[in-house]
Structure 1
Amino acid sequence: MEIIFLGTSSAVHSKERNHPSIALKAFGDVMLFDCGEGTQRQILFTKVSPMKISKIFITHYHGDHILGLPGLLQSMSLHGRESKLTVYGPHGLNGVKNAIYSLGYCAIDFPVEFVEIDSGIVEETDEYVITAQRVRHNVPTLAYSIEEKKKPRFLREKAIELGVPVGPDFGRLHNGEEVEVNGKIIKPEQVLGEPRKGIKITYSGDTRPCEEIISLAQDSTILIHESTFINKDNTNAEEHAHSTSIDAAYAAKYSNSKELILTHISTRYGEEYANIMLEEAREIFENTRIAKDLMEIEL
């Protein structure tokens, strides 16, 4: 599993920080979370293939989170994409779709499904579950978590003790199927260990501090949380429905997350303020770092 930060700025980009977008390579898939202006150019500096992006999850419809989407879709079409792409977002996504398809003369000649969602499970497979949660911003906004489904450990010696021959029946039991051995039914729970928690990644989108993001992020391996302001500008954070570095740190602490990554950094500060932001957060949640454009994390 790999996370690539394509853009880590807030509403105004800079030479160092592009508008928000995160790519996740996992489960044989490439997923995009938000798609700010310039996202497709940022992708050129990574090993991410835009043609392999299968799903895009939009948190909300402020321009810094969606204005890269029309260009990305048109470029995919120009490069001959044929495979389906699914775009998820809160209520209002159909209006975004209509706007995209009315831009210019460039047709989008591959299937794109736009799916409006609310809080709840967005997609679930045998390998993972993706959940959306409404959070507190000044427009309808979703946060997302993606959690790996990790199989319990297979107790090989226990299976042999029960008479299961080494071979395909091991795999069937590990996948939750019963098998018959010498007329006796062996159930999966007889040869499986305790449930194991898989990797969980939570992405806040834009939000004020709230119980909703803490609940969604519970026990996350990594919480990626917006940190638009440093603490001295908390009044601005409240006025514009954003979070400070301290707000993000408390979200990580109360959600029992293992690591916090700050993103959506206001460019009003300049990079010299990054250490201030980091120090503020680490006073509350030590395992914190600040995202940078094109930063990659392997899990």
Structure 2
Amino acid sequence: MVATIGITFLGTASAQPSSTRNHSSLALRLDGDVWLFDCGEATQHQVQKSNVKMGKIQKIFITHTHGDHIFGLLPILASRLNGAGGMAEGADDPRAQNLVSNMATAEPIEIYGPYGTRAYVRTGLKYTHTHLGSPYVVHELRTAHDPPEDSCTLPLDPAEQPGRDLAAGADGTWRDVFASDALAVSAAPIWHSVPCVGYAVAERPVPGKMVPALYVPHLKRTGTPMSVLRQLQLGERVQLADGTVLEGPARRPGRKVVILGDTYDPSPIAALAEDADLLVHEATNAHLPGIDPDTKATDTYEIVEERAKSRGHSTPQMAGAFAKRIGAKRLVLNHFSARYAGNDDVNEEARNVMVAIRHLAEEQYGDGREVLCARDLMTIDVEPRK
């Protein structure tokens, strides 16, 4: 069971950053650990401004290899893994010896991404003469259209451990690309202008609500230690000395967080995303007549939607419709055009724009469900299910 699940948005811009929005990245906080989703330029600067600790980053999930989602990956690795530039490669160099020791003992940073992610990292480290002090590994999510061989002809970086090539299942998705006793991560392709994936992070079923009054009389009657309540809380079955069998409460579904990359149609992930507690969906473009001064007089909602789709992106209405389709409990809009300022907490004009964008999503989402517009360094907690 994970005690705390939360998200910190490190960058919420699309394509170009602005003075109020950094390139795409968000941090999923899982108790003490941090998983990054996308790593746009200057992500490490945003980490330093946030509640995210660099040393806690354990995994990095890349949705696609457009620069605004990956240009910050190498700097993050260099900072997180004690990298150095121009380090001598001789075996007698102390830092080289330290890497040898860490390769045998340290847990690697795990990177997940589509075909080409491994080549990007390996080539970038090679030609920037960056030498990492601890290991990393890249697992690639492969489709039937990807070449079977590695996309990089360079040998493994000295800090690189061999990664897995993860083949999609018969339904085109990647189930349990990571799995532990507490969490499982699955992925699916989503439609964009280049190969792109979305991720579903699902908490395992958690213990049900404990009602001690149902059990304590039986424990007292048979002289059973009260410590047995701990076993029952975990959903276990306990047989008492007189033969009475007590059943712990049935386990409840865990939380689910769905994080999408850029998309004009995320339909392939719908089954994995169903009943999400929190959906993060892009809303790059919106039609805001009378609110956004840059709105074209000839535009309509339909024209803006078609323009967004032609570039592989979504409008707030499209995000709201998908959130409704999968039964998401909360929707967070993300990946905004540079024309939409991210300082709506202090600027009235920006606030009016983001309120209008939120309302467009709510029109499709409906039922009074919560819609939020992400801004840089915003933090959201995902509460346990009742």
TM norm structure 1: 0.90
Match of 2:209 in 1: 153
- Cα deviation for residue 48 of structure 1 reads 1.1
Match of 2:147 in 1: none
Instruction: Give the AA of the match of 2:43.
Output: T
> Distance in 2 between the 1:114 and 1:184 partners?
53
Cα shift readout 1:162-186 (whole Å, capped 9, x = no counterpart): 5473433322333344444227374
Identity across matched positions, percent = 33
Match of 1:192 in 2: 249
From 126, 130, 136, the counterpart of 1:112:
136
From 88, 105, 111, the counterpart of 1:87:
111
- 1:296 matched to 2:379? The reply is yes
- Range with greater deviation from structure 2 (89-98 or 200-209): 89-98
Pair 1:116–1:161, CA change in 2 (3 A) = farther
Pair 1:103–1:162, CA change in 2 (3 A) = farther
From 206, 209, 220, the counterpart of 2:265:
209
Do the aligned partners of 1:230 and 1:276 also contact (CA within 8 Å) in 2? no
Instruction: Give the AA of the match of 2:18.
Output: S
Pair 1:269–1:30, CA change in 2 (3 A) = closer
From 219, 227, 230, the counterpart of 2:283:
227
- Range with greater deviation from structure 2 (242-251 or 281-290): 281-290
> Distance in 2 between the 1:85 and 1:77 partners?
8
Match of 2:155 in 1: none
- 1:167 matched to 2:226? The reply is yes
Aligned runs of 1:59-70 on 2, under 5 Å?
A: 59-70=63-74
- Cα deviation for residue 60 of structure 1 reads 0.9
- Cα deviation for residue 156 of structure 1 reads 2.6
CA RMSD of aligned residues (A): 2.3
SS of match in other structure, 2:280:
strand
- Range with greater deviation from structure 2 (89-98 or 32-41): 89-98
Do the aligned partners of 2:82 and 2:134 also contact (CA within 8 Å) in 1? no
SS of match in other structure, 1:197:
coil
Aligned runs of 1:8-157 on 2, under 5 Å?
A: 8-78=12-82, 83-117=107-141, 118=168, 119-149=174-204, 150-157=206-213
Unaligned runs of 5+ in 1: none
> Distance in 2 between the 1:122 and 1:178 partners?
32
Structure 1 stretches of at least 4 aligned residues deviating more than 6 Å after TM superposition = none
Match of 2:92 in 1: none
- Cα deviation for residue 207 of structure 1 reads 1.2
- Range with greater deviation from structure 2 (14-23 or 144-153): 144-153
- Cα deviation for residue 49 of structure 1 reads 1.1
> Distance in 1 between the 2:217 and 2:124 partners?
62
Instruction: Give the AA of the match of 1:34.
Output: D
Pair 1:166–1:133, CA change in 2 (3 A) = farther
> Distance in 2 between the 1:244 and 1:98 partners?
35
Cα shift readout 1:19-38 (whole Å, capped 9, x = no counterpart): 11001111331111111001
SS of match in other structure, 2:333:
strand
> Distance in 2 between the 1:147 and 1:298 partners?
15
Cα shift readout 1:102-133 (whole Å, capped 9, x = no counterpart): 13122012010111135211222222222212
TM norm structure 2: 0.71
Larger Rg computed on CA atoms: 2
> Distance in 1 between the 2:66 and 2:356 partners?
27
Do the aligned partners of 2:61 and 2:112 also contact (CA within 8 Å) in 1? yes
Unaligned runs of 5+ in 2: 84-97, 142-167, 169-173, 288-300, 343-349
Do the aligned partners of 1:36 and 1:63 also contact (CA within 8 Å) in 2? yes
- Range with greater deviation from structure 2 (283-292 or 68-77): 283-292
Pair 1:181–1:94, CA change in 2 (3 A) = same
- Cα deviation for residue 71 of structure 1 reads 0.8
> Distance in 2 between the 1:204 and 1:132 partners?
10
- Range with greater deviation from structure 2 (224-233 or 74-83): 74-83
Match of 1:4 in 2: 8
> Distance in 2 between the 1:17 and 1:100 partners?
25
- Cα deviation for residue 224 of structure 1 reads 0.7
